[in-house]
Amino acid sequence: MFIKLYQITKFLILKIIYFIYPIKYQKVLWLIGSGRSGTTWIASLINTNNLYRELFEPFHSGICEMKLSGFKKNLYLSEDVKNIRLNFLSKKIFNGNFYSPGVEGTNKFLTLYRKDVLLVKDIFANLLAKNICARNEKIKPILLIRNPFAVALSIRNKKNWDWMNDPAVLLKQKSLLDDYLKPFQKLILNTSKNGSCLDKQILIWSIINYIPLVQFGEDELLVTFYEDWISNPEFELEKTYIFINEKPFFPLQIQNSKIFINASKTTTKSTFDILDWKDILTVDEVSSGERILKQFGFGNLYDKFSIPNRGVIQEVRSKFKTRVVHF
């Protein structure tokens, strides 16, 4: 009883301190991506000097304040919609006034961090990122993409975790259907009814990556690939720091550093094989997934060696501009 009372008291005190602490972050880096895309690991690489305050998935329906605001996994908000409760909560988050033990993780106390940089990472916020960023110009969003087959397989292996498992759930958001999903409605319903677990996850991956890609302008969103971080982390770090107007600071041999070798706290793997999913998935599973990806223009996003093709991103954006879509 005493321990529980102590924990509640500590939580309330810290919540008040964080809410009133006079920090005004000049730079806010928001790393978004799908679950199992490597966001936890990439966030640790970006924060390799451990000087940024890092928030772990504040946009999560498991957090009481988020749930009360109406947030749910992969909630969509069009750019012109004003959700008063969610906008207030997001302002708290990106101003650094939000506190939750799970979100704060192993962070040290506020005074030990630089007072100008905040790093936030999320896996269920892709579809509202544009709306939030439109109301806060200091946010610099980064979209992390990983091979959809690797992502879908990893989610299938972690099936007891808190995922979205049915793509048809997204159709219940009318504004999302009207703005973006009408051309894919038949595909979504058919996959929901007849598709495998892998098909459903590849479809969800396609939707939550497609929408921010076509919403944001090229200069508004930094698109980065998990596979590129494995092959050349120094180059990806430099691009990230340039994007947020930050002076590059990282070890010259980051690939040999402990933070690089230890993939992340959400996986037991310490090796990087971007082709390991090919040894597990059947030819039919891959073919089925490829048919889904092609519908969104992602068919050639990766070559046979799982190396990303950035030109496909440009093609997806260009084709979207020619669509007749209701806004």
Question: What pLDDT, on a 0 to 100 scale, did the predictor assign at position 178?
Answer: 97
> Does 326 fall in a domain?
no
Q: How many domains does the chain have?
A: 1
* Beta bridge partner(s), residue 29: 119, 140
- Residue whose tokens read 């793509």: 167
Give, for all 327 residues of the chain, the pLDDT tens digit: 656 665 566 666 666 766 666 566 888 999 999 999 999 999 999 988 788 889 999 999 999 999 999 999 999 999 888 888 999 999 999 988 888 888 987 676 655 555 688 999 999 999 999 999 999 989 999 999 999 999 999 999 998 999 999 999 999 999 999 999 999 999 999 999 999 999 999 999 999 999 999 999 999 999 999 999 999 998 999 999 999 988 766 555 676 666 666 655 555 555 578 999 999 999 999 999 999 999 999 999 999 999 999 999 999 999 998 764 432
56 Ramachandran zone, left/alpha/beta (phi>0; psi -120 to 50): beta
Neighbours of 126 (CB within 10 A): 25
- What Å distances lie between residue 291 and 33, 221, 287, CA to CA? 22, 27, 6
Question: What pLDDT, on a 0 to 100 scale, did the predictor assign at position 257?
Answer: 66
> Which pTM does this prediction carry?
0.90
Q: What values do phi and psi take at 223, rounded to 5? A: -95, 125
DSSP 8-state code for residue 181: I
Question: What's 120's domain CATH number?
Answer: 3.40.50.300
Question: What pLDDT, on a 0 to 100 scale, did the predictor assign at position 114?
Answer: 56
Question: What pLDDT, on a 0 to 100 scale, did the predictor assign at position 255?
Answer: 67
Question: What pLDDT, on a 0 to 100 scale, did the predictor assign at position 117?
Answer: 87
Question: What pLDDT, on a 0 to 100 scale, did the predictor assign at position 223?
Answer: 98
Range of the domain at 103: 2-321
> Does 276 fall in a domain?
yes
Question: What pLDDT, on a 0 to 100 scale, did the predictor assign at position 110?
Answer: 58
- The terminus-to-terminus CA distance of the chain in angstroms comes to 54
Q: What values do phi and psi take at 303, rounded to 5? A: -85, -175
> Does 239 fall in a domain?
yes
- What order do you get walking across the sheet with 27-33 strand by strand? 53-56, 117-122, 27-33, 139-145, 222-225
Q: Which two tokens stand for residue 159?
A: 């099936």
DSSP 8-state code for residue 30: E
> Does 93 fall in a domain?
yes
Distance between CA atoms of residues 112 and 116, nearest Å: 12
- What Å distances lie between residue 253 and 42, 127, 234, 257, 275, CA to CA? 16, 36, 8, 7, 24
DSSP sequence for 65-113: HHHHHT--TT----TT---HHHHHHHHHHHHT----HHHHTT---GGGS
* Beta bridge partner(s), residue 121: 31, 56
- Residue whose tokens read 């809410």: 19
> Does 327 fall in a domain?
no
Question: What pLDDT, on a 0 to 100 scale, did the predictor assign at position 50?
Answer: 80
Question: What pLDDT, on a 0 to 100 scale, did the predictor assign at position 326?
Answer: 37
Q: Which two tokens stand for residue 207?
A: 């939707």
Ordered alpha helix ranges (H), the chain: 2-20, 39-46, 64-69, 84-95, 101-104, 129-134, 148-157, 174-176, 185-194, 197-215, 226-231, 233-243, 258-261, 283-295, 311-321
* SS3 call for 46: helix
* SS3 call for 125: coil
* SS3 call for 152: helix
Distance between CA atoms of residues 211 and 167, nearest Å: 14
Question: What pLDDT, on a 0 to 100 scale, did the predictor assign at position 104?
Answer: 86
> Does 195 fall in a domain?
yes
